[in-house]
Amino acid sequence: MAVFRRLLGFLRPYRGAVALSALLAALATAATVSIPWLTGRAVDAVQDGARSELTTIALAVAGAGVLRLVLTVARRLVAGRVSLSVQVDLRERLHTHLLGLELAFFDGQQTGQLMSRATVDLQSVRFFLGYGLVFILQAALTIALAAVAMVIIQPGLAAIALAPVPFVVWASFRYGRQARPALQEVQQRIGELTADVEENVSGVRVVKAFAREARQYGRFERSVGRVFGQSMISTRLRAFYDPFLGFLPQLGLAAVLLVGGRQYVNGSLTLGDFTTFYTLLLMLIGPMRSLGTTLGLAQRATASGARVFELLDRAPGMVAPVTPRALPEGGGGRIELRDVTLHYDGASLPALRGLDLDVAPGTTLALVGATGSGKTSLVSLLSRLYEPQEGAVLLDGVDVREVDPTALRGEIAVVDDSPFLFSATVAQNIAYARPDATREEVEAAARRAQADGFVRELPEGYDTRVGERGLTLSGGQRQRLAIARALVTDPRVLILDDATSSVDASTEQAIKAALREVMEGRTTVVIAHRLSTIALADEIAVLEGGRIAARGDHAALLAASPLYREIVETELAGREEVAA
């Protein structure tokens, strides 16, 4: 019920429309209930030979039918608008909340699960809040108005006819209690299936490269089987309760035919009243039978709502400071890490342990070390993508936790080894971090990144739309566009995470020539694996086990650091093998 009440809270901005929808539903129900009563009066008129009265009643029945039609159409339009508005609100709120969560949250989440909650679960909530609630209201009003009409005509017969109603309500709620956990599990299985589909589509190049279509199909088939198996549990519940809920009103109908028929024969009930009772009960069978289905929709919406609220209730691990500090104007980009320890959730060992680092403004520092030594973790702290459990990270003397994240990240540009491009034009991708950049600034950044040449050879130049994730371009082309995207922001600090790993030797030299110009006078942190990249740096820091094991220039480290010497010798040996 707590989840259900929270779902109802999304209707609060549309109280007027919801009230109008309920009013239209009530009026349509009244028009519907009036038709059986008018039918009974018509039967009496036929028996009495009152032709003029019969004409009036026929016109009234037609008028009630037209009124019901108009009211129902209007109610559906209003309810549909409310339903879609709630869906928009939920999607915007969920999307905004997801973008506000820290990067560590997404490290432990499946994209398909998140997509399922943002689509399938929201659709269930939207449909019920827009239509299901009104249908329950309409069914309740139909039962109530029909019961009032029956009591007015013949209280005793009404009691007999309506005797199954409490059992219908009891069975409906019992069905709801049993269906909710089953439906919640179905939603979870659908999320897992969506995750598998997302992985198969996004990783289709790897699947085909290794000819593993059969393996992925088998995995997908198992996910479909789990959805099927769990869905069958809820299907079996519905297979019993839906017919059972439809059977109970039939008992009332049989009682009316038996008792009401005898009363008519005895003369204590007119044929018109008997017809009214019979027609009203026939009218009630539909809502009673559908009550279980509608409550099933409510349970599905509640299960989906619980999954959505699970995300919305997840508080961001990083928040912007209430009174943020501004970075000093004209700061040179001094970087300081003081006794920093970073431990990822679920990891057995910390990525960084008691690390101290001081990078002077305008300095280029290369980070080298084995895989897992903490290089990428270190640079991630500078933009506050992650937050250390201990210690502090400072930029130009200001703790990054005291700076608004948007302002902080506007001063730091990152080019990583797996650049991501959006399904947009080349110009839009370059200007992504600075949408107000002019075309001249975009093209200038592309020239500095050695991308202008190949961009102009594309079918529409800078207006060429790249495919999803930029897969229509080569790895080297994507990397050069990512470098241009970083350069167009004119950052205070530039981070190059192995940014030339996907380009050939000649292109690498051209990019480095451009980078030397860009890096001059700008604080730059380079994660390097090649000696040619390390040569760009003023200083080199060797990381081992989350700590800085040594620091100095190339010559000093060759003499003092066995680990650095091993890294250099390994690359030189690799070059000799290639040359051979």
Q: Are 384 and 401 in contact (CB under 8 A)?
A: yes
| Among 119, 112, 122, 120, CA closest to 90 | 122
Write out pLDDT tens, residues 557-580. Answer: 888 888 888 888 876 665 555 444
Q: What is the pLDDT averaged over residues 166-185?
A: 76
Q: In terms of CATH architecture, what is 2-312?
A: Up-down Bundle (1.20)
Q: Does the pLDDT value for residue 287 go beyond 70?
A: yes
| Residue 503 pLDDT greater than 70, yes or no | no
Which of 127-141, 164-178, 224-238 tops mean pLDDT? Answer: 224-238
> Residue 44's pLDDT is what?
78
pLDDT number for residue 578: 46
C-alpha span between 516 and 253 (Å, rounded)? 90
What global pTM score does this model have? 0.69
pLDDT beyond 80 at 341: yes
pLDDT category of residue 2 using cuts at 50, 70 and 90: confident
Q: How far apart are CA 141 and CA 463, in angstroms?
A: 59
Q: What pLDDT does 143 receive?
A: 79
pLDDT band, residue 296 (cuts 50/70/90): low
CA 206 remoteness from chain centre: 26
According to DSSP, residue 131 is labeled I
**Stretch 227-243: mean pLDDT, rounded?**
82
d(CA 121, CA 301): 7
Q: Which helix (H) or strand (E) holds 556?
A: helix 554-560
The residue behind tokens 């509640």 is 302
Nearest to 218 by CA among 207, 202, 209: 207
Q: What angle do CA 88, 94, 98 make, to 5 degrees?
A: 145
- Whether 112 and 194 have beta carbons less than 8 Å apart is answered as yes
Average pLDDT over residues 402-417: 86
Position 418 confidence tier, pLDDT thresholds 50, 70, 90 = confident
Query: 74-83, 293-302, 470-479 — which is least confidently predicted?
Result: 293-302
Query: Which pLDDT does position 395 carry in this prediction?
Result: 92
Average pLDDT over residues 446-463: 87
Q: What is the pLDDT of residue 510?
A: 66
Residues 330-359: what's their mean pLDDT? 87
Residue intervals of the chain classified under CATH 1.20.1560.10 are 2-312
- Span of 19-28, 388-397, 454-463, 568-577 with lowest mean pLDDT: 568-577
Number of other residues whose CB lies within 10 A of the CB of residue 257: 14
What is the strand order of the sheet 352-359 is part of? 352-359, 335-342, 390-395, 398-399
pLDDT-derived band at 399 (thresholds 50, 70, 90) equals: very high
pLDDT of 431 > 50? The answer is: yes
pLDDT tens digits along 132-157: 777 777 777 887 888 888 888 888 88
Quick check: 281 pLDDT over 50? yes
Question: How far apart, in whole angstroms, are the C-alpha atoms of residue 246 and residue 291?
Answer: 9
Across the range 5-19, mean pLDDT stands at 84
Q: Which amino acid is at 432?
A: Y
Q: Which residues belong to CATH 3.40.50.300 in the chain?
A: 335-579
Pick from 17-21, 111-115, 340-344, 561-565: least confident: 111-115
Architecture in CATH for domain 335-579: 3-Layer(aba) Sandwich (3.40)
For the chain, the average pLDDT equals: 82
pLDDT grade, residue 210 (50/70/90)? Answer: low
Q: What is the C-alpha to C-alpha distance for residues 30 and 149, in angstroms, rounded to an integer? A: 11
Q: What is the mean pLDDT of residues 199-226?
A: 78
Give residue-wise pLDDT tens across range 534-546. 877 889 999 988 8
DSSP assignment of 399-431 equals EGGGS-HHHHHTTEEEE-SS----SSBHHHHHT
> How many alpha carbons lie under 13 Å from residue 211 in its C-beta half-sphere?
0
The better pLDDT of the pair 68, 104 is held by 68
Q: How far apart are CA 197 and CA 216, in angstroms?
A: 9
The proportion of the chain whose per-residue pLDDT surpasses 90, expressed as a percent, equals 8
Spatial neighbors of 330 by CB under 8 A, at least 6 apart, are: none
Residues 6+ apart with CB under 8 A from 289: 242, 245, 246, 249
